[in-house]
């Protein structure tokens, strides 16, 4: 599918952001963006910009967004989540104010198609539903099976249950992105007044400054701060609240956050390498330090 543009402004911005993330030259990133969007090369995109362009704000189908992101991830050897963040930030897919729920769905499908090969029934990566006495059922991802079953749930990276306490479907349930990986639980205030949103595991997610776009932070970064504020400090986090995710998304969007934090990239490591969030973040940092050179 070819994505039509009214001008080259957004593809140029996408290429620039991808170049920053990958240390690849701008010209090479432009070529990759053009090909991923259905053009022969950057010159072809430039010549056709403005022809048959969709009306402003017309969304690009999810399948096309997944395809473009997956191809650029492969060509630039960048995590699909980093590529998606760059493309959404550049508004490559049309929306002036991208819907975070839509971005979550695109990333979820990328996890299924790019990062996590299909799991066998009952094996790590397989999605089940809990049936623990006295608790509401919830979706869960099998992390390991060694006697008991270790699960990744929306709120936990290591919920241990007996095999009898899960429903193991014959047909795969849809993968989900655990809320714990993108729910802000508080904010640090830095010396210049900037706020840094952090997760339940005190991983930095977003730096917020007045008049500037939110800055996506690496989850292993150390943040020097002057004060700490916890959200829901009096009541704590009610992980079972049916509207918790919707409230988190609304709060993030109200602060200008329209993509997912780098912490979400821990999910494949948690499943493939059977580790918790802290260990997964350490491995992400090592992977970042030893990233391969991109394909020419």
- In the sheet that holds 186-189, the strands lie side by side as 215-216, 204-208, 195-198, 186-189, 227-230
Tell me, yes or no, if the pTM score tops 0.75: yes
pLDDT at 294: 47
pLDDT band at 55 (very low <50, low <70, confident <90, very high): low
Identify which has the larger pLDDT, 151 or 170. Answer: 151
**Is 236's pLDDT higher than 80?**
no
pLDDT band at 107 (very low <50, low <70, confident <90, very high): very high
The overall longest dimension of the chain from CA atoms, in Å, is 63
- Find all residues with CB under 8 Å of 222, minimum gap 6, and list them: none
The residue with tokens 């007045």 is 210
Identify which has the larger pLDDT, 243 or 1. Answer: 243
Strand partners, 151: 142, 159
Average confidence (pLDDT) over 69-78? 96
Average confidence (pLDDT) over 5-34? 95
d(CA 66, CA 80): 9
CB 188 within 8 A of CB 208: no
**Is 266's pLDDT higher than 70?**
yes
Name the average pLDDT for the chain. 92
Beta strand segments in 174-268, E: 186-189, 195-198, 204-208, 215-216, 227-230
**Is 177's pLDDT higher than 80?**
yes
């Amino acid at each position: 599918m070819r994505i039509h543009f009214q001008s080259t402004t957004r593809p140029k911005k996408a290429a620039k952001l991808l170049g920053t993330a990958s240390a690849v030259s701008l010209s090479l990133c432009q070529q990759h963006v053009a090909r991923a969007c259905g053009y022969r090369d950057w010159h072809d995109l430039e010549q056709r910009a403005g022809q048959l362009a969709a009306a402003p704000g017309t969304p690009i189908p999810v399948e096309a967004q997944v395809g473009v992101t997956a191809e650029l991830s492969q060509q630039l050897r960048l995590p699909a989540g980093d590529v998606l963040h760059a493309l959404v930030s550049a508004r490559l897919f049309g929306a002036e104010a991208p819907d975070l729920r839509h971005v979550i769905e695109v990333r979820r499908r990328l996890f299924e198609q790019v990062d996590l090969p299909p799991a066998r029934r009952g094996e790590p990566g397989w999605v089940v539903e809990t049936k623990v006495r006295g608790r509401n059922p919830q979706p869960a991802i099998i992390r390991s099976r060694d006697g008991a079953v270790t699960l990744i749930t929306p709120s936990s990276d290591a919920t241990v249950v007996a095999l009898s306490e899960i429903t193991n479907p014959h047909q795969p349930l849809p993968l989900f992105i655990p809320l714990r990986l993108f729910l802000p639980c508080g904010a640090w205030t830095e010396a210049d007044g900037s706020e840094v949103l952090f997760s339940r595991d005190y991983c930095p997610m977003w730096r917020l400054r007045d008049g500037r776009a939110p800055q996506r932070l690496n989850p292993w970064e150390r943040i020097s701060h002057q004060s700490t504020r916890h959200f829901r400090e009096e009541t704590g986090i009610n992980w079972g609240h049916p509207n918790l995710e919707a409230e988190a998304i609304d709060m993030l969007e109200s602060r200008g956050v329209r993509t997912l934090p780098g912490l979400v990239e821990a999910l494949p490591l948690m499943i493939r390498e059977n580790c918790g969030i802290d260990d997964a973040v350490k491995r992400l940092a090592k992977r970042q330090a030893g990233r391969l050179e991109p394909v020419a």
